[in-house]
């Protein structure tokens, strides 16, 4: 027996949540669809492929203050930033949730990034299964699926006018009152099946291919912007600098990407990884070799955003297939 919730009950439940919590959901902007705080339930978009930026931006924001420091008559006091409001992230796709789980492996490993931890603890993830796969999706090849409930607190799967509800965690259970749920025998629709990218044994092949000229040829066309890293649900590189105004100091952390020119340039100017080829290679080595070695999983959720936004079509699926070929594992 599956539990379902009607569209009307779903929206009224979200309306109630709106009063007490920060409700973040996909909404239209004058640009692309983005996860934004919702002020009116009507703003929530339920029919969308995926947001331009992943939900990562609400846990590891593009810009965030780590702490404030104030010096009053010779005494300096540090005030760490904290996350106050409880939040609900509604409409997160399974691939973004998997992305968060991958970032958790790095940020929550000892010593845990407590600010990120607060963002995660104080938010409930209400996932929305995908009804159709975009041409760039390949989540099933990266250990998740269009209806994978593993990394969300509640998973909704649209079926005609209602939604099948899968309560996954205690957090989800506590948030969704039972009286809104109906028992039903409706069968979930078959999930879309994006094309398969065979990434088995990619680590071994990557280890062989480090000095291959493939990387510098791939980098020929790369323009080295930060786009692929900023839209990626699993990229977590950052820069830290201070802001000072009228004696009050603010330490700010912002996104940065391994493609930016100064990423490894030291203050004296020495830059061990200066060439374009080496920087682009670093992106794929971190995702397909270093991260798996450290944390046991490929640092990719298969959401396909980098493939979609890359100005010059650097396609990670093509890179994986090419590297398998170079490594002699020419998978049909």
Partner 1 sequence: MSPENPFVPYLATVKNVVTLTPDIKLLGLELDDPTVRDNFSYKAGQFAVLSAFGVGEAPFCLASVSHPKGELEFAVRRIGTVTSSLQELEPEAAVGVRGPFGNCFPLDDNKGQNIFIIGGGIGMAPLRPVINTILRNRDDYGHLLIINGARTPQDLVFQAEFDIWASSPRTQLELTVDRGHDGWKGRVALVPAVIAELNPSPENTVAITCGPPIMIRFTLQELRKLGFQDNQIITTLEMKMKCGLGKCARCNVGDMYVCKDGPVFTCEQISKFIEQF
Partner 2 sequence: MELIAVEKPASYPDKERGERLNQQLRDKAKELLERGAVECVIGYERATDGSSARPFFVYQPEEVDRLIFDQTCTHNLVKYLLNKKDKTTAVVVKPCDSRALNLLLNEKQIQRDKVFIVGVVCPGIVETGWNQVSQTLQGRCQRCRQHTPLVYDFLVGEPPAEEAPPAEAYADVAEIEAKPLAERQTFWDEQSKRCIRCYACRQVCPGCYCSECFVEQLQPPWVGIKIAPPENNMWQTIRAFHLAGRCSGCNECERVCPMDIPLSLLNRKLEKEVWELFEFQAGLSAETVPPFATFKKEETLGIGE
Instruction: Burial-class residue 181 by CB neighbours within 10 Å (0-12, 13-18, 19+).
Output: middle
Minimum Å gap between C-beta 260 and partner 2 is 8
Residues at the contact surface with partner 1, assessed by CB under 8 A: 66-67, 69, 71, 74, 76, 78, 80, 106-107, 109, 111-115, 207, 210, 236-242, 244, 249, 251, 253, 263-268, 270, 272-273, 278, 282, 285-286, 289-291, 293-294
Among 66, 108, 249, 252, binds partner 2 (CB under 8 A): 252
Stretch that binds partner 2, among 101-109, 204-212, 290-298, 318-326 (CB under 8 A): 318-326
Distances (CA, A) of 32 to 43, 59, 126: 14, 20, 21
Query: Residue 159: which of partner 2, partner 1, none does it interact with, CB under 5 to 8 A by kind?
Result: none
Q: How far is CA 101 from the centre of its chain?
A: 9
Minimum Å gap between C-beta 12 and partner 1 is 38
Query: Residue 85: which of partner 1, partner 2, none does it interact with, CB under 5 to 8 A by kind?
Result: none
How many CA atoms lie less than 13 Å away from 299 in the CB half-sphere?
25
Q: How many CB atoms lie within 10 A of CB 190?
A: 8
Query: Residue 196: which of partner 2, partner 1, none does it interact with, CB under 5 to 8 A by kind?
Result: none
Give the span between the Cα atoms of 300 and 308, in whole angstroms.
Answer: 15
Among 321, 326, 327, 329, binds partner 2 (CB under 8 A): 321
- Say if CB 34 and CB 22 are below 8 A apart: no
- Say if CB 156 and CB 91 are below 8 A apart: no
Q: Name the residue among 311, 319, 248 with its Cα closest to residue 283.
A: 319
Task: Determine, following the binding rule CB under 8 A, whether residue 140 of this chain makes contact with partner 2.
Answer: no
Which residue, 132 or 217, has its beta carbon nearer to partner 2? 217
Among 230, 236, 285, 291, binds partner 2 (CB under 8 A): 230
Task: Determine, following the binding rule CB under 8 A, whether residue 30 of this chain makes contact with partner 2.
Answer: yes
Residues in the chain: 332
């Amino acid at each position: 027996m599956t539990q379902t919730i009607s569209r009307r009950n779903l929206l009224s439940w979200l309306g109630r949540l709106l009063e007490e919590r920060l409700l973040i959901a996909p909404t239209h902007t004058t640009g692309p669809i983005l996860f934004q705080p919702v002020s009116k339930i009507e703003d929530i978009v339920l029919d969308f492929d995926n947001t331009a930026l992943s939900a990562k931006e609400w846990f590891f924001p593009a810009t965030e203050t780590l702490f404030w420091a104030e010096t009053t008559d010779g005494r300096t006091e540090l005030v760490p930033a904290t996350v106050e409001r409880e939040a609900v992230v509604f409409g997160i796709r399974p691939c973004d949730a998997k992305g968060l789980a991958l970032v958790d492996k790095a940020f929550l490993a000892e010593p845990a990034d407590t600010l990120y931890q607060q963002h995660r603890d104080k938010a409930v993830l209400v996932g929305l299964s995908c009804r159709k796969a975009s041409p760039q999706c390949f989540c099933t090849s990266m250990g998740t699926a269009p209806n994978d409930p593993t990394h969300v607190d509640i998973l909704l799967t649209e079926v005609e006018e209602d939604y099948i509800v899968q309560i996954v965690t205690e957090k989800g259970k506590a948030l969704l009152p039972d009286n809104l749920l109906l028992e039903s025998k409706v069968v979930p629709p078959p999930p879309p099946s994006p094309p398969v990218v065979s990434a088995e044994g990619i680590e071994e092949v990557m280890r062989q291919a480090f000095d291959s000229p493939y990387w510098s040829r791939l980098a020929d066309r790369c323009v080295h912007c930060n786009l692929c890293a900023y839209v990626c649900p699993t990229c977590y590189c950052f820069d830290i600098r201070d802001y000072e105004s009228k004696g009050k100091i603010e330490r700010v952390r912002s996104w940065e990407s391994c493609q930016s020119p100064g990423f490894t340039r030291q203050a004296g100017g020495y830059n061990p990884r200066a060439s374009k080829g080496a920087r682009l290679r670093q992106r794929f080595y971190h995702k397909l070799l270093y991260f798996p070695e450290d944390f046991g999983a490929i640092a990719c959720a298969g959401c396909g955003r980098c493939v979609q936004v890359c100005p010059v079509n650097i396609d990670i699926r093509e890179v994986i297939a090419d590297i398998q070929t170079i490594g002699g594992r020419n998978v049909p």
